Amino acid sequence: MSKLQPLSVLISDSARARWGAAIEQHVQKSLHADRAVQWVPPQTAPDAAGHYACQVAYITRDVTGASTKTRVLEDLQRFYEVMRASPHLAWVHVHSAGADRPIFAELRQRGIKVSTSSGANAQPVAHTALGAVLALGRRFPDLWAAQQAQRWAPLVRNPDVHDLTGQTAMVVGIGRIGSEIARMLQAIGMQVVGVTRSELSGRSAHSPEVCTYAEMAAHLPRTHYLILACPLSPLTQQLVNAHVLSSLPQGACVVNVARGEVVDQAALIAALQSGHLGGAFLDVFETEPLDTACPLWRLPNVIISPHTAGHFAEHADRVQSLFLDNLGRFLSDTHLHNEYL
């Protein structure tokens, strides 16, 4: 039997230093124990035809860095260049929960498999969303502003502060993150309506009430907290528009830990400025970084989080576990977890 060709892996230098030995060991434990790994550093020069040899690309957090969908910095751009010029590329794994950057649609059109790290940060994102509801509901922005002004401002003077118990939160997107958010909100006594793509509505393990996207409009008038945890797709692009926002009750709040493009940002700003919305916690925006001229920075009822809801120190370890699991699946030609379809 002829020896298998090495598995060529595009990986950053820092990720290789940290994970290289574990990846090599995982390959050796696969069905093909004698298969070697050929590392393809991003600075590798192409062959005479302008091509690269990589079959697998592992996009870790250090590669993405401060890049966004609208601002691709040098390290990530270099990965894009190598992937585009790799005719034998078969699989890309990315550290993020979503794969809505244009490059991934481009790769999938070539028949390349793309898998994500969905679920790796589900609990931290859910903790952030829970904290956002508590902060908005208990008026932490007002308390912080009063502290900075050294002003004694008891909440007893605010007639719009209500007990969160019994209030309704709509969680749009009942995936791993949304399910965790729903579970945590129920734990503090809130009523939860989950929105899902499924044609079937009813009860689930994490939400006492579930509806489809087509049915969500009927529940908006009783929704005190609209929480967005859905992936970006043609179904969710600009889902939260002026009509949706105006359908919420006076004083409702919006929490977005999904994608900025799920919300019509201009309509959101108008609803906040008019006082119809009581507040918002925003982790994502239409364009990132958020322009310093954007009114959202200066609205007193808005908490801005710079796309960091899912950050935690152990995230890389969880991503690596997902990558190694999928590496075994890729080598055995079985279905990948979190494959972006």
Distance of CA 275 to the CA centre of its chain: 28
Tokens of 180: 């965790």
Tokens of 50: 């302008």
Q: How far apart are CA 204 and CA 206, in angstroms?
A: 5
Instruction: Give the model's pLDDT for residue 34.
Output: 73
In this prediction, residues 36-51 reach a mean pLDDT of 96
In this prediction, residues 143-161 reach a mean pLDDT of 92
Q: Which of 311, 260, 318, 319 is nearest to 128 (CA)?
A: 311
Q: Which of 288, 281, 72 is nearest to 169 (CA)?
A: 281
- pLDDT range class, residue 205, cuts 50, 70, 90: low
Query: Strand order in 277-282's β-sheet?
Result: 209-212, 191-196, 168-172, 225-228, 252-256, 277-282, 302-304
Instruction: Give the model's pLDDT for residue 3.
Output: 61
Q: Catalytic residue positions?
A: 259, 307
- pLDDT range class, residue 31, cuts 50, 70, 90: low
Picking from 33-37, 52-56, 181-185, 213-217, which range would have the lowest pLDDT averaged per residue? Answer: 33-37
Q: How far apart are CA 164 and CA 224, in angstroms?
A: 9
The third-level CATH classification (topology) of the domain covering 122-304 is Rossmann fold (3.40.50)
Asked if 59 and 94 count as a contact pair (C-beta separation under 8 A), the reply is: yes
The model's pLDDT over 62-107, given as tens digits with 9 standing for 90+, comes to 999 999 988 999 999 999 999 999 999 999 999 999 899 999 999 9
The third-level CATH classification (topology) of the domain covering 7-120+314-331 is Rossmann fold (3.40.50)
Q: Please, is 250 exposed, middle or buried when counting C-beta atoms within 10 Å of its C-beta (0-12, 13-18, 19+)?
A: exposed
pTM (two decimals):
0.91
The model's pLDDT over 215-256, given as tens digits with 9 standing for 90+, comes to 999 999 999 999 999 999 999 999 999 999 999 999 999 999
The residue written with tokens 């959202």 in the block is 296
- pLDDT range class, residue 325, cuts 50, 70, 90: very high
The fraction of the chain above a pLDDT of 70, given in percent, is: 95
Which one is predicted more confidently, 202 or 156? 156
Domain with CATH 3.40.50.720 in the chain: 7-120+314-331, 122-304
**Strand ranges, E, within the chain:** 7-10, 37-40, 56-59, 91-94, 113-115, 168-172, 191-196, 209-212, 225-228, 252-256, 277-282, 302-304
Q: Report whether pLDDT(201) > 50.
A: no
- Phi then psi for 329, rounded to 5 degrees? -65, -40
Q: How far apart are CA 47 and CA 322, in angstroms?
A: 31
Residue 13's contacts (CB-CB under 8 Å, 6 or more residues apart) are: 41, 42
